[in-house]
Amino acid sequence: MLRDYPTLYRENNGLALLWLTPWDGQTELSLETLDPYFIEVCRRIRLSTGITGPVAHAAPSKTTRIHSKGLKGFLGDLWTPLRLGAETVSLTITGKGFGYQLISELLLGSEKYRSSPAQESGFDPATNHSEFFARALARGQGITEGYHERRLPLSPVVRATLNQAQGRASLAAIARERVEQSGRMAKKVLIPALLTMIQRSPEKLNFKDRRVDTWHRRFDQKVDAVFFPSLWESLQQDPQQAATNWIHLLAGFGKELLAAAEGGLIAGGARRHKIAVTAERVFRGALYNQFSDHFIRE
C-alpha cells in the first residue's frame, strides 16, 4: 500500500486505533498522520462503568474524524474495489446486494471496476479450498439497506482459469454475454407475455405496468442461483453446446414463471383460455425471434 500510495500515509509510527486519540469534535486528522491499516472512529462515544453496568457517554461532532472527503473513499484500502468513471470512487452497493452481474464483474474483471489490492494476489493452485468472498453494508439516503455478503466456491479448474490472463478474459466475455442474455430473456420474452396476461391481450402493451416487477425479480433470482455453477460447467463443455444449454435454461425459467403466473394474473371469464394461449404464443414467438440460433422452430 505504501508503494502504491506513498503520499497518503505515514510509513512508521502512524496513528492506528483512532479512538485512543483525544477528539474535541471539531478537528480532523490528516491521512499523512495515520498508519496504513488504521481503524476509524466515527462517533464521539466513551464507555464507563455505572452502578448497574456499562454506560455510554455520547457527544456531538461538527466534522468527520479524518480529512478525506475529497478523495471519495479512494484511500488505498486493501479490500475495497474502485468504481471507475468520470471520477474514481470506492465501490458502494445498493440494497440489492451482490447479484450475479456485479460479482462476475468484480471477480472476472470489468472496465467499470478496479480490483482491490488483496484480490490481485491470485489463487494458490495447491490450495484445496478457495472462495471469492464479498461483504458490505449497503447505505441509502440517511439509512442502511442491510448487510450483504456472498461466498462463491472456486474449484481447481476455475482457479487455474482465473490465474491465466487469457482464460480469465475469455470467461469474463462469456459471463458478460450471459448477463445480457438473461436481461433480454426477461425484458424481451417473459415480460411481454406476462403483460399480455395482465392487460388481457390488448392491441398495444403498456410496458410501464409495474405489476410484472415481482415476476421479473423471481426470474432474476432463479438466474442468480445457477449463474456461476453453469458458468463453471461451461469450462469443460463444448462452447456452442454450453451456450445453447444456457439459453434453454433461461427459457425453462421463463416457461415455469409464465405457467405459475397464469392462475393469478388472468381474471376469470370466457376469454381466460384465449388470453393464456395468446400469452404463450407471444412468449414462444419472442423466444425464437431473440434466440433463433439456439432453437429449431416447431
Residues 175 and 290 occupy one common structural domain: yes
Rounded to whole angstroms, the Cα distance separating 196 from 92 reads: 37
Residues 142 and 156 occupy one common structural domain: yes
pLDDT at 18: 93
pLDDT in tens, 49-66: 999 999 999 999 999 899
pLDDT over 70 percentage in the chain: 92
The backbone torsions φ and ψ at residue 70, rounded to the nearest 5 degrees and listed phi first, read: -65, -20
The H or E element spanning position 139 is: strand 130-139
Please check whether residue 158 is in contact with residue 129, taking contact to mean a CB–CB distance below 8 angstroms. no
CA angle (10 as vertex; 61, 82 as ends), nearest 5: 75
pLDDT at 85: 87
DSSP H helical segments within 39-126, as ranges? Answer: 100-108
For 110-120, what is the mean pLDDT?
85
How many C-alpha atoms does 208 have within 13 Å on its Cβ side? Answer: 0
Residues 155 and 59 occupy one common structural domain: no
The backbone torsions φ and ψ at residue 162, rounded to the nearest 5 degrees and listed phi first, read: -70, -25
Which CATH number belongs to the domain containing residue 253 in this structure? 1.10.132
Residues 195 and 246 occupy one common structural domain: yes
- Between 77 and 62, residue with greater pLDDT: 62
Residues 65 and 104 occupy one common structural domain: no
Look at residue 222 and tell me whether its pLDDT is greater than 90. Answer: yes
Cα distances (Å, whole numbers) of residue 230 to 85, 158, 271: 31, 12, 40
pLDDT at 141: 73
Rounded to whole angstroms, the Cα distance separating 95 from 140 reads: 8
Domain end position, chosen among 163, 193, 211? 163
Domain total of the chain: 3
pLDDT at 149: 95
CB atoms within 10 A of CB 31: 19
Look at residue 265 and tell me whether its pLDDT is greater than 70. Answer: no
The H or E element spanning position 16 is: strand 15-17
Domain end position, chosen among 102, 136, 163? 163
Please check whether residue 283 is in contact with residue 197, taking contact to mean a CB–CB distance below 8 angstroms. no
Cell numbers that stand for 109 in this block: 474483471
* Burial (CB count <10 Å: 0-12, 13-18, 19+), residue 19: middle
DSSP H helical segments within the chain, as ranges? Answer: 100-108, 156-162, 165-184, 191-198, 213-233, 239-265, 272-290
Residues 40 and 124 occupy one common structural domain: no
For 272-287, what is the mean pLDDT?
91
Please check whether residue 220 is in contact with residue 186, taking contact to mean a CB–CB distance below 8 angstroms. yes
Domain end position, chosen among 146, 163, 180? 163
Mean pLDDT (the chain) is 89
pLDDT at 8: 79
Residue showing cell 483512532: 18
Measuring CA to CA, which residue among 184, 178, 249 is closest to residue 216?
184
Look at residue 184 and tell me whether its pLDDT is greater than 70. Answer: yes
pLDDT at 255: 96
By residue range, what is the domain housing residue 58?
Answer: 1-71
pTM of the model: 0.82
Residues 29 and 43 occupy one common structural domain: yes
Rounded to whole angstroms, the Cα distance separating 172 from 199 reads: 39
The backbone torsions φ and ψ at residue 77, rounded to the nearest 5 degrees and listed phi first, read: -60, 135
Residues 135 and 211 occupy one common structural domain: no
Cell numbers that stand for 187 in this block: 425484458
Task: Report the first-to-last Cα separation within the chain, whole angstroms.
Answer: 60
Residues 193 and 145 occupy one common structural domain: no
Look at residue 123 and tell me whether its pLDDT is greater than 90. Answer: no
Q: Which of the four pLDDT bands, split at 50, 70 and 90, describes residue 23?
A: very high
Residues 7 and 64 occupy one common structural domain: yes
Cell numbers that stand for 250 in this block: 433461461
pLDDT at 78: 81
Which has the minimum average pLDDT: 6-15, 45-54, 243-252?
6-15
Residue showing cell 470467461: 171
Residues 50 and 135 occupy one common structural domain: no
Residues 95 and 210 occupy one common structural domain: no
For 255-273, what is the mean pLDDT?
80
